[in-house]
Amino acid sequence: MKLLRIGDRGPGVADARATLTYLSFLPATPRQPGGDGNDAAAITAMDVFDEDLDRAVRAFQQSRGLSADGIVGPDTARSLDEARHRLGDRLLYYVASQPFIGDDVAALQERLSNMGFDVGRSDGIYGPRTEAAVRDFQRNRGLEPDGRCGPHTLRELKRLERTVTGGRPDVLRESVRLLVRGPSLLGMLVAIDAGHGGDDPGITANGLTERDVTADLAARLEARLLSSGLETLQVHAGDESPDEAERARRANEQGADLLVSLHVDASDSPNAQGVSCYYFGNARGSSAVGERLAALIQKELVSRTDMVDCWTHAKTWDLLRRTTMPAVRIEVGYLTNSHDASALGSSDYRVTVAEAILAAIQRLYLPPEQDPPTGQLRVPRVATPS
């Protein structure tokens, strides 16, 4: 699709403006005095991407966990379409090949979760877990358990109040799963996703290419995890670059416990530098374990290196959203910054990054009384990599 930004005009701009007005990010367009609201001047104004629309797009992007750049690209356009749906607007049911996605699904998930039904996280995707939760709810209310959210199911949902207390139910469930698993990492399956690959080099700057940096880092991380008794899954081969939905599907299909996606960053400014971590989250909620893992990785990276701390951030990128396990995307430095590029080109730095990620994974499963200070944990090797 054509990217839309300030200064552009056309029907795509008018559609974005109408949606943002419907969502209350823009005020309703007032009618001109003495006019009927359909005059040529009013219509022309609707299809112009002006500063007001730019601000509204940025605010919407911020609320949805998207990069707030004011540009209506594929991710923003998809999110605008999802935001149009309200619970009750359409019949919802599970379709494996093309699941329903939208705010109506997220609202349904929140409602079910608040009543104690396990939908996982509220990602707005009507998947098998949401269908199972709907069936459980229907059985509980004496309805036909067909997994479809239609008028009868909606009526029962509206009759009931929240029945879960003591915190967000999804957070409580994820916390219990961590406690049940215990501190041992033996046999844990970690999916490793090297950014880009194949014919897609990613960022190229300062004599380095993102694809090559992340492929090498992924190999080092895999070797380090294997040496401590974990199992690994490389999400894609070096000669391919599947889209994020396909990467998530592969990790889900193999039943990975965690996913770590490795990237490097870039900026028009050579002064931008540092490391950052991202996890699934938006205004409706987040992956509690993903958020915790991102925070631990960020702290370990900053404490073990001289990289600038660019913090952790919630995003709704497909790879973070569509994975059924906690997932984290790590930006290990700015390739466009001379200091960071020097580090990224160093094998010592890449070894340190792998060690920091492993330490963070171990800390994720340790009880508070056993959690060591940041930067001090060394996970022992239990096997020699072949």
pLDDT in tens, 32-64: 444 554 555 555 578 999 999 999 999 999 989
Strand 189-194 vs strand 231-234: parallel, antiparallel, or unpaired? parallel
Mean predicted confidence (pLDDT) in 251-271: 97
- Is the pLDDT at 351 greater than 50? The verdict is yes
Which residues form the domain of 272? 184-370
Mean predicted confidence (pLDDT) in 197-206: 96
Dihedral angle computed from the Cα positions of residues 201, 204, 208 and 213, in that order, rounded to the nearest 10 degrees:
-40
Percent residues over pLDDT 90 in the chain: 80
Does residue 203 sit in the same domain as residue 324? yes
- Is the pLDDT at 89 greater than 60? The verdict is yes
pLDDT on residue 94: 97
CA angle, 364 as apex, 215 and 282 as ends, to 5°?
80
pTM of the full predicted structure?
0.85
Structure-model confidence comparison of residues 284 and 21, the more confident one? 21
Does residue 115 sit in the same domain as residue 242? no
Structural domain ending residue among the three candidates 51, 83, 115: 83
Strand ranges (DSSP E) for the chain? 189-194, 204-205, 208-209, 231-234, 258-265, 275-282, 285-286, 309-315, 327-334
Give me the residue label for tokens 């193999």.
254
pLDDT on residue 33: 46
Domains identified in the chain, total number:
3
Does residue 240 sit in the same domain as residue 135? no
pLDDT in tens, 325-342: 999 999 999 999 999 999
What lies within 8 Å, CB to CB, of 36 at 6+ separation is none
Domain CATH number, residue 17: 1.10.101
In which band, very low, low, confident or very high, does the pLDDT at 140 lie, cut at 50, 70 and 90? very high
Asked whether residue 2 is domain-assigned, the answer is no
Does residue 193 sit in the same domain as residue 318? yes
Mean predicted confidence (pLDDT) in 311-321: 94
Here the tokens at position 130 are: 């949401």
- Is the pLDDT at 265 greater than 90? The verdict is yes
Selection from 244, 245, 247 nearest residue 234 by Cα: 247
- Is the pLDDT at 358 greater than 60? The verdict is yes
Domain CATH number, residue 159: 1.10.101.10
Mean predicted confidence (pLDDT) in 221-241: 97
Note whether 334 and 266 are within 8 A (CB): yes
pLDDT on residue 286: 82
CA distances (Å), origin 183, targets 232, 268, 362 = 18, 43, 7
Note whether 192 and 222 are within 8 A (CB): yes
Does residue 135 sit in the same domain as residue 195? no
Does residue 142 sit in the same domain as residue 260? no
Mean predicted confidence (pLDDT) in 119-132: 93
- Is the pLDDT at 162 greater than 80? The verdict is no
3-state secondary structure of 53: helix
Note whether 170 and 281 are within 8 A (CB): no
pLDDT on residue 319: 96
According to DSSP, the residues that pair with 97 across neighbouring strands are none
Does residue 254 sit in the same domain as residue 314? yes
Here the tokens at position 174 are: 């994820």
Does residue 204 sit in the same domain as residue 330? yes
